[in-house]
Amino acid sequence: MTIKTEILDFTADTQLLQRVEKKVSKLAIFFNHISKVSVVLKKDNKDKTKSMFAEVKIYVPNGIIFTREKSSNIDNALTKALICLKLELLKYRAKRLSYGLI
């Protein structure tokens, strides 16, 4: 599984990038046929509340699973996105098991 991280509209330190990689790599526990993960972290400049967005795309066989979460903190947005993706991966895995594809 390859992890690609993009940071838009703010600067990130290496600790943030390491936390992102560590959190995203845990998704392999729920479904081990993930080929690539794309993470985009960005700041909403139009909103006065200084919101942060985390967009995560997971490339799985025959599809893409995508989520976008918003929070005041980038870590919270990423955590919310990964919780949502965990549930979607479990649904996807159950569907593939029911068809006998795994």
Q: What is the CATH number of the domain that holds 85?
A: 3.30.160.100
Q: For residue 92, give its domain range.
A: 2-98
pLDDT of residue 38: 96
Predicted TM-score of the model (pTM) = 0.87
* Element spanning 96, H or E: helix 74-98
pLDDT of residue 44: 82
Distance CA 81, CA 77 (A): 6
Distance CA 63, CA 78 (A): 21
pLDDT of residue 99: 87
* Helix, strand, coil content of the chain in percent (nearest 5): 40, 30, 25
pLDDT along the chain (102 residues), means of 10: 90 90 92 93 80 94 93 93 95 90 76
pLDDT of residue 56: 96
CA 66 to chain centre: 8
> What is the total count of domains within the chain?
1
pLDDT of residue 81: 95
